[in-house]
């Protein structure tokens, strides 16, 4: 299987900078690499774009993500994205009606702090793409992978929950 990962930043990637004393969104794929190191049967292409906390993303950043998706030849795409505005970017991608299988994912806690949640969200996306799914724009978080319009961040609970 071939999968393109578009890594746009967000909490998933955050690492602690001991000099500055704060968490940063690095423009690298260290968080991701630890997960895909065990994916012996997948041929990954990784595109690192934007590299921001999603609260700081601009229209121009979202346009850049759209372009990265359109320029991807693989039909399977996983987009790592911050949780705060993943609904905006995924809605924008969905509107484009791109004939691909696009799964957004991310994490509430950085991979550098908790390896379980980030690995789970990403790996759900990968497992979903292993099935013969329809083209569409999905979100993979907290146990489910569904159409991006159906999973919503509950900001009080810190959980993505299926919208009734």
Name the residues that contact a copy of itself, by CB under 8 A.
Answer: 1, 11, 16, 18-19, 21-23, 34-42, 53, 84, 108-110, 112-117, 119-133, 140, 142-146, 151, 155-162
**Whose Cβ is closer to a copy of itself: residue 66's or residue 88's?**
88
Region for residue 32 given its phi and psi (left: phi exceeds 0; alpha: psi -120 to 50; beta: otherwise): alpha
Q: Does the annotation mark 11 as catalytic?
A: yes
Nearest CA to 106 out of 78, 133, 76 is that of 78
Rounded-to-integer distance, Cα 89 and Cα 21, Å: 30
**Shortest distance, CB of residue 116 to a copy of itself, whole angstroms?**
5
**Shortest distance, CB of residue 61 to a copy of itself, whole angstroms?**
18
Nearest CA to 93 out of 128, 62, 57 is that of 62
Cβ pair 110, 15 in contact under 8 A: yes
**Shortest distance, CB of residue 30 to a copy of itself, whole angstroms?**
13
| Residue tagged active-site, from 11, 83, 105, 137 | 11
- Which residues are the active-site residues? 11
């Amino acid at each position: 299987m071939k999968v393109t990962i578009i890594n746009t930043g967000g909490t998933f990637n955050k690492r602690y900078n001991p000099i500055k004393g704060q968490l940063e969104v690095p423009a690298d794929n260290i968080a991701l690499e630890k997960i895909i190191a065990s994916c012996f049967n997948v041929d990954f292409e990784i595109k690192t774009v934007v590299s921001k906390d999603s609260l700081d993303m601009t229209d121009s950043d979202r346009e850049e993500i759209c372009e990265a998706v359109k320029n991807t030849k693989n039909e399977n795409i996983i987009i790592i994205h911050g949780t705060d505005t993943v609904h905006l970017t995924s809605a924008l991608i969905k509107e484009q009606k791109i004939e691909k299988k696009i799964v957004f994912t991310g994490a509430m806690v950085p991979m550098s702090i908790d390896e379980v949640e980030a690995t789970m969200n990403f790996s759900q996306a990968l497992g979903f793409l292993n099935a013969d799914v329809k083209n569409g724009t999905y979100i993979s978080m907290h146990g489910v992978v569904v159409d991006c319009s159906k999973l919503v961040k509950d900001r009080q609970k810190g959980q993505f929950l299926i919208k009734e």
